[in-house]
Amino acid sequence: MKFEQYHISPEIKKSLAELGFKRPTDIQFKAIPSIMKGDDVLAIAQTGTGKTAAFAIPILDMLQKRHPKKTKGEVRCVVMVPTRELAIQIAEVFTQIGKYTKLNILGLHGGVDQAPQLKKLAQGVDVLIATPGRMFDLISQGFIDLSQVAVLILDEADHMLDLGFIRDIRDVMKHLPRKHQTLFFSATIDKDIKDLAYSVVYNPIRIQISPQDPVSKNVQHAVAYVGMDDKRFFLERLVKEFPENKILVFVRTKVRAERVSAAMARIGVNTLTMHGGKEQDNRLEVMAEFKKGDAKVLITTDVNARGIDIPDVDYVVNYDLPDVPENYVHRVGRTGRGVKKGQAVSFCSDEEKPVLDAIQTYLGKEITVMKIDKNDYRETISFSEDIPNDNWQLLLDEHNKAEAQLAKKKKKKK
């Protein structure tokens, strides 16, 4: 079924066509009809499968058709998200899909001047995408009225619980009308998520896509055993051998991000850094520059692991393995999005092997090891841009060939 066959407004169909949305993804195909019927929904799907559009399309259509007059500070739909970056991104998706409607969309978050946000709130807002801190601040000041909200959406619900937002979620419920629609969207599900969902809604429709494999099949995984002090040499080699590729590098801390960036600068590799220690305006500038492709390498902490959609990331490099196994899924989900292919390469030092074991247990499968013999390892340490070498490409090709053969054998057994 194509989007043009859906019973949605011509204005939304027009924007979807311009955005290249022809057919719905699995999560969109399953979620949109239930949302349009007014059901409460608990949706679980892999990162990068189009969850945002799965709720943005039906909600915009519904709000456009209802046409109530908004009063000052009144909000019709609230989307609660855990981070500023996610608030900005989801607001962009709503704005793009709702381009030809007359609906007011507002991304609300801290770290920026609230005056422009207040000006837009004064006009009444159809969709408010907000982080809890700024939203409750403006509610307490009397600038936001949630009494007419028709839909509450919790995006990245599992992460909101991890960050301790359960009390904020329950406080929001107190401000909403008794009758409203509630949607939960998350990449993972556990007992806490289910308990929350069933405590605030009655009998939600549960939609789960590919629960057995939390990572998209479009992502090829590899791990290289590399000494902690040698990781920068392997990153340098990877970057220089794939100069046109967009590479997202994850490290454990903001100090680590700056140190790795400085190490790359010393050998002539231009990188951007992104972490919680930067001002919001700077974070927005960095993200815009990386999305446009002005810089090919972004070194970041897990502030960018969740939900953020960065177009055409070719490689995700786990320079440091994540402390929480679940974050591996979210990190590598920044590549291989939609129908595109991606590579996830992890550097694992001896001290990180227990972390790797925990990640593999969480995934339910082993990550194939890229075999690097002693000569290759030595060459990488002494690697210079004056010495052309396509060793990384050979390693990756061999790795992908081995995985393809393994998959073929498994298929035959079935």
Q: Could you identify the residue written with the tokens 């608990």? A: 42
From CA 248, how far away is CA 260, in angstroms rounded?
Answer: 13
Q: Contact at 8 Å (CB) between 78 and 153?
A: yes
233-258 per-position pLDDT tens digit: 999 999 988 988 999 999 999 899 99
Position 213 confidence tier, pLDDT thresholds 50, 70, 90: low
pLDDT exceeds cutoff 70 at 57: yes
| Predicted pLDDT at 212 | 56
DSSP H helices in 242-381: 254-266, 280-292, 325-332, 353-363, 374-381
Common-topology check for domains 3-208 and 219-413 = yes
- For the cut 90, the answer to whether the pLDDT of residue 197 exceeds it is no
What was the pLDDT predicted at 258? 93
d(CA 157, CA 165): 9
**Range among 339-343, 348-352, 371-375 rated most confident:** 348-352
Show Cβ contacts of residue 147 under 8 Å, excluding neighbours closer than 6 positions: 74, 175, 176, 177
Supply the pTM of this predicted model. Answer: 0.67
The distance in angstroms from the start CA to the end CA of the chain is: 30
The pLDDT value recorded for residue 393 is 62
User: For residue 350, is pLDDT > 50?
Assistant: yes
Coil, strand or helix at 83: coil
Report the alpha-carbon distance of residue 38 to residue 303 in Å, rounded. 33
Element (H, E) at 88: helix 84-97
pLDDT tens, residue by residue, 99-112: 999 999 999 888 77
What confidence tens digit (pLDDT) does each residue in 118-139 have?
A: 888 888 899 999 988 888 888 8
Residues found in the chain: 414
CA 408 to CA 414: how far, in whole Å? 10
Domain boundaries defined on the chain? 3-208, 219-413
pLDDT value, residue 392: 62
Q: Give dist(CA 325, CA 282) in Å, integer.
A: 29
CATH architecture of 219-413: 3-Layer(aba) Sandwich (3.40)
CATH of 3-208, one of 3.40.640.10, 3.40.50.720, 3.10.310.70, 3.40.50.300: 3.40.50.300
How sure is the predictor about 398, in pLDDT bands with cuts at 50, 70 and 90?
low
